[in-house]
Structure 1
Amino acid sequence: MSYIPVSRRTLRRHRESERSTRRLVAALSAAAALAWLLTVMLSSAVHVGALVHTIAVVLHVLSLVLAFGAIILVDWHGFLWLIGRRGLAEIIRLDGAATPLIWGGLAGMLATGVFLNPHLTNPMTDVKLAAVLVLSLNGIMLIPLMRRLARLPTSSSFKDLTVGQRTHLLLCLVISQVCWWTAIVVGFINAEF
């Protein structure tokens, strides 16, 4: 690693950027938790007929396909970068393109979840709801790391990351996949019964 002289002004901007990222993560985490709580509360108060329920299920599944499809694509390309088969610039660019699809799909799932008449007394539903909250917060916790990765040289590999960054990335990947698959499997099991 080489020494690159950095001016005080650059250091100050970097510290301000880190602080603004922390504030953004805190605000988004609060907003995600509030949106999740609002969805759960409204779903217990709103009861719809068969037609609205069917439309909500279709839109819920389409939102799931949108968000989870984008997640799988980003995670797959991230894995390919991890083993040296993709460049960092490609991953950052793909993540930027997929982010609106992921969050749009998740917002669609929350909005349509209100009209699904969930059985909130069923422990399986609680597991699904917890998984959705955790995956939302997990995605938000990736923001600081992705911003740091975007500042690295495009030739950087997974091995060039610090141990903390590698751990953060892998932990978020595992949490994401576990929560998405849990929510999907429990959702389909609950839909059957």
Structure 2
Amino acid sequence: MTYSAAAAPRFPRKSHKSSRRLVGILCIAAAVAWVLAVMMGLSVTIEGPPRALALSVHILAMVLAFGAILLVDWHGFLWLIGRRQLAETIRLDGAAGPLIWSGTAVLLLSGAFLSPDLSNPWTVVKLGAVLVLMVNGISLIPLMRRLVVMPASTTFAGLPMGQRIHMLLCLGISQACWWAAIVIGFVNAEL
């Protein structure tokens, strides 16, 4: 989803109800994609070079998606402390969004070929973290729609308290889920 300054005029016409509907539909789609990937992972077993290829694609997708997340979150933090303008952060988020979501989709697909071991509780935690981070990212859509129409000079402190809490909660959830999934993935690979 793009939140560029050029797209701003169309967002105010969107109602809160349509944003909630979109978030609901996207959350259901994410959950279905996640369930399908887990089910596929339980039914498909590959070994040798194809597994190595799937693992390489999985790691590259993680670097793509998480790298973009780190950049957006860092830029957002710089806006939070007054070192960047809101418009810059929104523009960067709009540019990074396709990288984040395409990387996440490739993570789901490639992960399905890595035969997750659901008897390992850490694997279950990792898979849960992936689902939570997708839903968390989707839950930012209404907030971003509100931010994109605000003046470029809007500061974090100038936002209503609810929006600040929403933003900080989503940031915390995102970072916790990404780091948990990455650390668990690498630890499980060593076992």
Pairwise same-fold verdict (TM > 0.5): yes
Aligned to 1:118: 116
Q: Displacement of 1:120 after TM fit? A: 1.2
Aligned to 2:85: 87
- Kindly report which structure 2 residues correspond to 1:27-106, keeping only aligned pairs within 5 A, or say none: 27-106=25-104
Rounded to whole Å, the distance in 2 between the matches of 1:125 and 1:21 is: 33
User: What RMSD, in angstroms, separates the aligned Cα atoms of the two structures?
Assistant: 1.1
Using CA pairs under 8 Å that are at least 6 residues apart, name the structure with larger relative contact order, 1 or 2.
2
Aligned to 2:135: 137
Q: Displacement of 1:16 after TM fit? A: 4.5
Please, what TM-score do these two structures have when normalized by structure 2?
0.92
Aligned partner of residue 156 in structure 1, secondary structure: coil
Rounded to whole Å, the distance in 1 between the matches of 2:116 and 2:169 is: 30
Aligned to 2:3: none
Aligned partner of residue 143 in structure 2, secondary structure: helix
Q: How many residues align?
A: 181
Rounded to whole Å, the distance in 2 between the matches of 1:93 and 1:185 is: 30
Deviations 1:126-157 (A, max 9, x none): 01000000000000001100110001111100
Rounded to whole Å, the distance in 1 between the matches of 2:95 and 2:22 is: 20
Question: Identity across aligned pairs (percent)?
Answer: 61
Return closer, same or farther for 1:148/1:179 CA change in 2, 3 Å cut-off. Answer: same
Deviations 1:34-55 (A, max 9, x none): 0000000110000112111100
Rounded to whole Å, the distance in 2 between the matches of 1:180 and 1:109 is: 12
Please, what TM-score do these two structures have when normalized by structure 1?
0.91
Which of 170, 173, 176 does residue 172 from structure 1 map onto?
Answer: 170
Aligned partner of residue 45 in structure 2, secondary structure: coil
Rounded to whole Å, the distance in 2 between the matches of 1:192 and 1:118 is: 14
Whether contact under 8 Å (2:136, 2:170) holds in the other structure is: yes
Structure 2: gaps spanning 5 or more residues: 1-10
Aligned to 2:24: 26
Aligned partner of residue 119 in structure 1, secondary structure: coil
Structure 1: gaps spanning 5 or more residues: 1-12
Aligned to 1:5: none
Please tell me whether residue 190 in structure 1 is matched to residue 188 in structure 2. yes
